[in-house]
């Protein structure tokens, strides 16, 4: 089925020099990674205050590690989907491109996206809380329980951002610059409720970008976007990229 994109959006995309995509858990849903919110979301089954903050970790590191070890194994088994692959193609088609993600699943890089800013960390990385040494998933999953640093014996944690923690400064600054300088900004598969990440789409729009949202459901941001593309990322993004390829072919 051909996706009906408005002529205004296709014109803005066809002329865009700097395109930024901003993704949330929804883009990985079709790969089989559960989202956080909604009826089947992770936070409907588990309490974030028991699993995703430093106090919870210090109180019960075994429980937190059990949960992360499970998620690491689930994510290692899944594959990038058509939505991830469409963003790889988009990066090749436009002069400047940045992909900002809230996801920790590493599926954008595994698909082949190059310029990726990870605002909430990456579940494939771990580091020692005492000496900072990094450890691979292979190392930390080799033995059950809480992993310890093979250099200093300190406790190891996943390299993900927990509630109450700062975002990685460098990734955040690059993301703000990408948002501010983009002329076309795609917000994909995010409920747009977790700040500061959720401020980026409207920052881009305030600075003049055409803001397009891709989501099966409306979000708090939907009333303020230039175009709401209602549906699944794995369907809409490949269609949008095909439309851009069509525009480019027509100009040749």
Binding site for ligand OAD (CB under 6 A): 24-27, 29-30, 35-37, 41, 52, 102, 120, 161, 189-191, 194, 214-217, 219, 232-234
d(CA 104, CA 86): 19
Is 120 an annotated catalytic residue? yes
To the nearest whole angstrom, how small is the minimum distance from the Cβ of residue 14 to ligand OAD? 23
CB of 203 to ligand OAD, least distance (A): 16
Least CB distance to ligand OAD at residue 54 (A): 12
In this complex, which beta carbon is closest to ligand OAD, that of residue 15 or of residue 230?
230
Q: What is the DSSP string of 100-142?
A: EE---S-HHHHHT--SEEETTEEEEEEEETTT--EEEHHHHHS
Residue with Cβ nearer ligand OAD (21 or 149): 21
Calpha distance 94→72 (Å, rounded): 33
Angle at 213 between CA 212 and CA 214, to 5 degrees: 125
Nearer to ligand OAD, 147 or 201 (CB): 201
| Cβ closest to ligand OAD, residue 37 vs residue 85 | 37
82 contacts: CB under 8 Å, gap ≥ 6:
30, 234, 235, 237, 238
- Name which of 3 and 181 has its Cβ closer to ligand OAD: 3
From 70, 85, 120, 148, active-site residue: 120
Which class for 120: exposed (0-12), middle (13-18), buried (19 or more C-beta within 10 A)? buried
The minimum distance between CB 220 and ligand OAD, in angstroms, equals 10
Between CA 203 and CA 81 the distance in angstroms is 28
The rounded distance, in Å, linking the Cα atoms of 139 and 197 is 31
146 three-state secondary structure: coil
DSSP state of 197: G
State the nearest-atom distance from the C-beta of 95 to ligand OAD, in Å.
26
Q: How far is the CB of 161 from ligand OAD (least distance, A)?
A: 5
* Three-state secondary structure readout of 80-101: CCHHHHHHHHHHHHCCEEEEEE
Torsion of CA 23, 29, 32, 33, to 10 degrees: 50
CB closer to ligand OAD, 196 vs 208: 196
Active-site residue set:
120
């Amino acid at each position: 089925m051909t996706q009906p994109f408005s002529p205004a959006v296709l014109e803005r995309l066809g002329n865009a020099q700097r395109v930024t995509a901003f993704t949330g858990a929804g883009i990985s849903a079709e790969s089989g990674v559960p989202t956080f919110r909604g009826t089947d979301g992770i936070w409907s089954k588990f309490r974030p205050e028991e699993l995703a903050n430093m106090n919870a970790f210090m109180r019960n590191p075994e429980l937190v590690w059990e949960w992360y070890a499970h998620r690491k194994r689930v994510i290692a088994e899944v594959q990038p989907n058509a939505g991830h692959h469409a963003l790889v193609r988009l990066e090749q088609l436009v002069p400047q491109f940045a992909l900002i993600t809230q996801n920790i699943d590493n599926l954008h890089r595994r698909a082949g996206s190059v310029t990726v800013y990870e605002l909430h960390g990456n579940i494939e990385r771990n580091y020692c809380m005492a000496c900072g040494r990094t450890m691979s998933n292979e190392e930390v999953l080799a033995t059950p329980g809480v992993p310890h640093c093979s250099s200093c014996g300190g406790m190891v944690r996943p390299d993900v951002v927990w509630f109450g923690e700062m975002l990685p400064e460098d990734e955040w600054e690059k993301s703000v610059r990408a948002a501010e300088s983009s002329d076309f900004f795609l917000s994909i598969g995010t409920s747009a409720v977790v700040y500061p990440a959720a401020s980026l789409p409207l920052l881009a729009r305030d600075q003049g970008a055409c803001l397009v949202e891709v989501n099966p459901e409306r979000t708090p941001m939907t009333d303020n976007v230039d175009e709401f593309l209602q549906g699944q990322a794995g369907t809409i993004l490949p269609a949008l990229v095909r439309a851009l390829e069509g525009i480019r072919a027509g100009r040749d």
